[in-house]
Chains A and B, each alone.
Chain A
């Protein structure tokens, strides 16, 4: 599925095989993945799924949430770092190792919180690859213009639904978009 800047559907694309599909010895590429250090703010469904996936891939993951109970989503044998605290507090982010992070994602359930956390990561700590989830399509657009990498599930979801109505094709289920949850129970 290909979307233009406003989230309108413009075409289809096969997504490259995901790591778990490569795991069989026959198809696994020889090139080893370069491990990255990633800080994730928000341990909800998306945050915990992302964290588990990346830990499984051998990356160094820190995940931040205000509520200790949120970390239950990660399962007991989670191999990353869990930090209790606010994702819009420099000190908490430092504890999560943001000063040496390569990647940052903010995926709490508050748009503004995500925006602020991502800006701190990008402009205060200079993290190179920063992305934030913004539900409000207008704010997502505004901050994209300002130079923040954003992802808006609202427009993506609406486009998928629209595509199904128009073509009878459910891209989310047919493998065009992968919805695997690696190890996350949420």
Chain B
């Protein structure tokens, strides 16, 4: 019988807005979380807010401090301070010195996403980049929204809400001329997910979730407006 894997112990470095809300969210979902914050006053404030969370006051780049956090049994370390260099070093120490299998780093300067990947961070997340993508799609292609990054492959999930008079309505999924590397993985119809077979017809009001390897929103958009 398959045993449901236990939720990993998550160590969060940095108790700013991102770290705080992340900790709260993960605790609500039943994760064991420890939050590391170097500023004592901030740590006390978080402690008052969250109550149940375990908070430790210390620097995420100090080996001696990290060793006291139980880091070696952590399944994931998330470094989300406002400084890229601190996040990078915290993740590298976690991975190289404490054998943490998965490291996630907040990247503040979006051009550093690639750098972080080169330097061994498993998942670099740039809120700025995500936001820019969202705003960009709001500006140019109002029906297209760049979604979440898909683990490992570097692809994105793109959410396409079809405009009312879309030329796609009535066509089969197999007839959509999407570029290579793009695939409709789900149709959201009346708020419910539908698995799209090749013969499924696109209906008025549908929302398409597209797995996009190219991230070339222009091309996807063009393909969908044909």
Contact = CB atoms under 8 A, between A and B. Distances in A.
B17 interface: no
Given A88-B84, A139-B89, A142-B96, A119 B119 contact: yes
Given A88-B112, A89-B111, A111-B61, A142 B93 contact: yes
A2 interface: no
Interface in A118-143: 119-120, 123-124, 136, 138-139, 142
B83 interface: yes
Nearest to A116: B85
A173 B13 CA distance: 43
A116 B89 contact: yes
A110 interface: yes
Given A91-B111, A142-B63, A142-B93, A123 B85 contact: no
Contacts of A123: 118-119
B61 A120 contact: no
Contact of A139 (B63, B84, B109): B63
A16 interface: no
A138 B112 contact: no
A138 B64 contact: yes
Given A142-B93, A142-B96, A146-B96, A113 B115 contact: no
A89 B109 contact: yes
B85 A113 contact: yes
Contact of B89 (A91, A115, A120, A124): A115
B97 A142 contact: yes
A147 B86 CA distance: 19
B43 interface: no
A89 to B, nearest CB: 6
Contacts of A90: 111-112, 115
A185 interface: no
- Name the residue in A112, A119, A138, A146 with the highest tally of chain B Cβ atoms < 10 Å from its Cβ: A112
Nearest to A138: B63
Contacts of A113: 85
B63 A112 contact: no
Contacts of B64: 138
Interface string B89-125: 1001100110000000000010110010011000000
Contacts of A112: 61, 83, 85-86, 88-89
Contacts of B97: 142
Interface in A81-108: 86, 88-91
Contacts of A119: 88, 119
Contacts of B86: 112
Given A142-B93, A146-B96, A110 B118 contact: no
B118 A116 contact: no
Interface in B185-209: none
Nearest to B111: A90
Nearest to A88: B85
Contacts of B119: 116, 119-120, 123
30 contacts: A88-B84, A88-B109, A89-B112, A110-B85, A111-B89, A112-B61, A112-B83, A112-B85, A112-B88, A112-B89, A113-B85, A115-B88, A115-B89, A116-B84, A116-B85, A116-B119, A120-B115, A124-B115, A136-B61, A136-B62, A138-B63, A138-B64, A139-B63, A139-B89, A142-B63, A142-B93, A142-B96, A142-B97, A146-B92, A146-B96
Q: Nearest 3 pairs between A and B by C-beta?
A: A112-B85, A116-B85, A112-B89
